[in-house]
A and B are shown apart, each in its own frame.
Chain A
Amino acid sequence: MPNKTFFWFFLPTGLAMILFIGLPIISTGIQSFYAQHDQVVKEVKKCDPFGCTVSIVVDNEETTKIRDAKPLGKFNGFGTYTDRNHLAVDEIKKFWNETESFGAFVDQVTNLPFYKALIFTLTYCLFVTPNVLLLGFIIALSLNAVARKIRGPLIFGTILPMIVTPLVGSLVLFWMIDSQGIIGANIQNLMNDPYLSLKSSKTLTWITIIIYGIWHHSPFAFVVFYAALQTVPQEPIEAAIIDGASRLQRIKHIVLPHIYPVVTFVALISLMDNFRVFEPIIGFSAEGSAQSLSWLIYDNLVNEEVILFGSAAATSMMTIIGIAILLAPVLIRTWKEFKTAR
C-alpha cells in the first residue's frame, strides 16, 4: 500500500486513538504529579440522634477558594510515585540499612503494597502466559486431528470459557471451592482437615486464580492457533512423512516455524491481558490474599470513601510502563525481523 493511501486509511483510527487513548493517558500522567491541597479544617459542634460532640470538619469556604485558584491541586512532583504506597524509596533504603540478611530485606519489601501487587501480577503473568500458549497449542493440534464431523461442536465447547463473562466464570468456581462447595468439601475430606480452606490460604488462592486464568485464556490461544494451523502447507509435511519424520519432529521443524509469527502475537496479547489481571480477584473475593496492580488502582478509586486520584494515576502510569518493559524484548525482536525481511 502506498504511504499516502495508508495515511488516509489510518487517519480515522489514529484520531480516535489519540482522542480516546492518547489524551486520557496524558491527562492521567499530569494528574499523577499532583496531590490534594492541604485541608483546611475547623472545629464545630456536631449533633446527631446519639448526642452532640465537638469535632472537626473540612472548611468548605476556604477550600473552595484554594481550589478555584489551583484546580489541579498541589504540585507534588514524583512525591506520589516515591511514597510508601507506591515505589517506597525511603522505606526500601531504611530496610536495606536496618535488616541483617537479604531474606529479611525481601520480606520487608514484599510487605509494601505496591511490591506485593507487583509480585502477584508478575507471578500470574509468568505462570498463565506460557501455560495458555502450550495448552492452546495442544488443543489446536488435537482438534485439527479429529474427524471433521465432530469438530464443530468440539470447537464450540472449547471456546466456551472465553464466551462466559470473566466475573461469572470466577463466581462459579468461587462457589465450588467454598468450604462447603463441591471442590472445597472434597478437598477437606481428602486431606482430613476441617479447617483447610482454599480461600483463606494465600498460596491456594494464588493457585486457584492462576488455574482460572489458564482456563479462561486458553481458548483465545486455541482459536488463533487453530486458524494458523489451517494455513500450514501439506506438501512439506507429506515429504517429511516419506522421509520418516515422527509426529513430534514434524511439529518441531515444520508446523512451529510456520506459525511462529502467530505465536509471538498471542504471547504479546496474553502478556498484556495478564498484566492487567483484575476480574478474578473481585470474583473470588481474593482481595485479602492476592492484589494486582489493576486492583490497587480500583481500590484507590472506589474502595474508600475518599477518592485518591493522584495514587490511582501514579499506579496507572507505572502499569503502562510495566507493560512496555514486559513487551520490549518481543517488540524489539519483531522489529528486527521486520527489518531483515525487507
Chain B
Amino acid sequence: MRKILVTLLFLLFGTSAYADCNIKSGSINILANDFPALRTFVETSKQCKGSADFKVTHSSEHNKIAVPALTANPSEFSARIAANSSIVPLMNQDLIRPLDDLVKKYGKGIQDSQLITIDGKVMAVAFMANTQHLYYREDVLKDMGIAVPKTYEEVVAASEKIRASGKMKYPYAAAYKAGWNLAEEFVNMFIGHGGEFFKAGSAQPNINNAKGVATLNMLKKLSELSNPDYLTHDSEAIKVEWESGNVALMTLWASRSGTLLDDEGDAKITAATKLTGPATVGGGNIPAATLWWDGFTLAKNRSDADAEATFRALAHAASNKKMVADAADQAVWLVEGFVPGPKSIGVIEAVKMGAKPYPMLPQMGLMHGALGSEIVEFLQGKESAEQALKDVEAAYISKAKEQGFL
C-alpha cells in the first residue's frame, strides 16, 4: 500500500514538474480520429493545459463531424487533428487559421519539417507519418519456401501457393470495405501504376485508361484471395482475421502495427508477424501506397485566446521528446528525438522507395467518394473494368459540376 502511495505521489509530482506551460485561461476542445498514437498525443498535450478547460472527442467518425462543427461560429472545436485528405475540406471552406504567429511565439521545439505550409502560410503542424504497407507471417512463408514479396504480382503468386497447399483458405487481407477503404486501396494501386487522377491543370478525371484497368484487375485478383466477406472488412476486421491466424499476407496501416504486435492474442502469431515496405505493382518503381501525415489545425471561428491556449498545449505534445521516446512503438513520429524502431520499417521503407503523398487537391474527396461506390460491381463480377471506370468518371463529373469544380 505504501509503495503504491509513493508511486502515485511520484507520478503526481513527476508530471506536474515538467508539464507546466503556464496557460492561464482559454478553453481547449479537440476533435481527433481514434487510434492509439493520437490518444497518446492528446494525453500529452493535456498534461500542460494549466488552468484552461480541456475537452477531447476521439471518434472514427471524425470526418463526418468536422466540417459542420467548425462551420459554426463560434466553432465547437478549437482544434482538429487532420491528415492530408481531411485538411482539404477545411481549406475549401476556409475553416482553419494560419499558424505563423503562434509558431513564432510558442513553437520553439517544433521542427521546420513538421510545418505544413500552403501558399507560404503555416496551416497545420504535423507530428506523425503513416502509410499502408505489407505485413507477413514469417513462419508460413518459410515453411513454403516463399521469399518476402516485393511486388503485388509476387503477393498474388505467394497467396495462390499458400491456398493451393491447403494451409489457409484466404491467405491475403486488405481493408476492402465498400466506401472510403476500398477507394483508398484503388488510390494506392493506381498511384503504384503511375496514374494521375486528373488531367494536368484541370479537374477533369483521368482514370478510364490502361492504368485504371490494370489497377482494377490487380484489386480483383487480390480480392479473390481474401475472405469472401472482404467488401465488409475495414482495418479493424482484417486485424482480427490476422490475429486469428487466417491470413499470411496483409496490407494494413503502419499505425495499426502497435496493436497487432502487443501482448494480446496468440503469442506464436505475434512472434511470426513481420513488417516490410509497401509492394510495387506492374513493374513500377514507386510503391503502390500513399504517404500520410497527421497534424493539428486550429479552427478559424474561435477566439484568439482559445486558439493560443490550444496551440500551446498541442505544440507541447508536438515537440515532446519524452512522448516520442515512450511511445516509439505507436507511430512514426515526425518529432525531434524520435528513434525509429522495428515497427516503423513500413513507413521508412515507403519514404526510401519514393512513395507519393496522398494528393491534397480540393476535388480529390469527390473522386475518392465516387471510387468507393462505383467499383464494387466490378469486384463482384457484375460489370467490366471499363464500365466501372466509366461509371466512376460519370459519377465524379456530376458531383464536381454540382460543387462548381467543372
Contact = CB atoms under 8 A, between A and B. Distances in A.
Interface of A: 35-39, 41-42, 44-51, 55-58, 60, 63-64, 74, 76, 80, 83-85, 91, 111, 113, 174, 178-179, 194-197, 199-202, 284-289, 291, 299, 302-308, 310-311
A243 B91 CA distance: 80
Given A47-B117, A111-B383, 12 more contacts: A35-B403, A49-B113, A50-B293, A58-B92, A80-B402, A84-B397, A197-B229, A200-B231, A288-B232, A304-B399, A305-B86, A305-B89
A302 B63 CA distance: 8
Complex A-B, nearest 8 residue pairs according to Cβ-Cβ distance, in ascending order:
A288-B178, A197-B228, A305-B365, A304-B369, A44-B119, A285-B232, A60-B94, A288-B376
Contacts of B398: 83-85
Nearest to A107: B383
Given A288-B380, A289-B380, A49 B334 contact: yes
B157 interface: no
Nearest to B390: A111
Interface string B179-192: 11010000000000
Contacts of B119: 42, 44-46, 57
A201 B115 CA distance: 46
Contacts, number: 169
Nearest to B350: A50
B368 interface: yes
Interface residues of B, number: 66
A50 B362 contact: no
A44 B376 contact: no
19 contacts: A37-B404, A41-B362, A42-B119, A48-B116, A49-B116, A55-B360, A57-B91, A74-B404, A83-B402, A85-B399, A111-B383, A179-B229, A199-B229, A288-B178, A304-B366, A305-B85, A306-B369, A308-B402, A308-B403
Interface string B58-90: 000001100100000000000000001110110
Contacts of B9: none
Nearest to A43: B201
A287 B376 CA distance: 9
Contacts of B373: 113, 287-288, 291, 299
Nearest to A37: B404
A51 B293 CA distance: 12
A35 B126 contact: no
B357 interface: yes
B180 A303 contact: yes
Contacts of A194: 169
Nearest to A287: B178
B89 A306 contact: yes
B251 interface: no
A49 B228 contact: no
Contact of A285 (B89, B114, B169, B177): B177
A311 B114 CA distance: 38
A253 B25 CA distance: 78
**Residue from B92, B117, B397 whose CB has the most chain A CB atoms within 10 Å:** B92
B334 A200 contact: no
Interface string B100-127: 0000000000000111111110000010
Contacts of B146: none
A289 B178 CA distance: 9
